[in-house]
Amino acid sequence: MSDIRPFHLAIPVVDLDKCREFYRETMSCTEGRSDSKWVDFDFYGHQLVIHQVPALPANADQQRNPVDGKQVPVPHFGVVLSWEEWNKLADRLKSLQITFLIEPCIRFEGLPGEQATMFFLDPEGNALEFKAFKDINRLFHK
């Protein structure tokens, strides 16, 4: 894979300060530009913007799809990390006693899409997934 370009994602939050602290401290994201209603973060080389809104959609965090025997939250977002980065992050989040929706695990074991994955929520209920492949060239392998 070459020419990987950063993506931009904006998500709604009600408590800007609480989420700002979560992405800065828990997720170790560097803070970029900000204003009274939004904050930019370097989210593993991508731009994540949290935007303050008066309320979140009802039941948005309750939708799930079955994937490899797990109930995956929809919608969700995240990034693909190197195998080493993923393990370090999983260990760090466990030490911080993050509550996982799906504990760090290996999914599709022995199949072309084998991957390490974990899911958890930010303080506003936005679902995050972090995954890794031992061989990043197998990211889209069928």
Q: Partners of 65 in the beta sheet?
A: 72
Whether 124 has a pLDDT exceeding 70, the answer reads yes
Question: What pTM, to 2 d.p., does this model score?
Answer: 0.88
Q: Partners of 64 in the beta sheet?
A: 73
Residue 135 is part of a domain; what is its CATH number? 3.10.180.10
- Closest C-alpha to 46, from 86, 84, 4: 4
Give the model's pLDDT for residue 113: 82
Tally the domains of the chain: 2
Residue 68 Rama label (left phi>0; alpha psi -120 to 50; beta): left
**Cα three-residue angle 10-116-93, rounded to 5 degrees:** 65
Lowest mean pLDDT among 16-20, 57-61, 130-134: 57-61
Across the range 107-115, mean pLDDT stands at 87
89 and 48, same structural domain? no
Domain with 43, as residue range(s), is 1-55
87 and 41, same structural domain? no
d(CA 50, CA 126): 11
Give the containing element (helix H, strand E) for 21.
helix 16-21
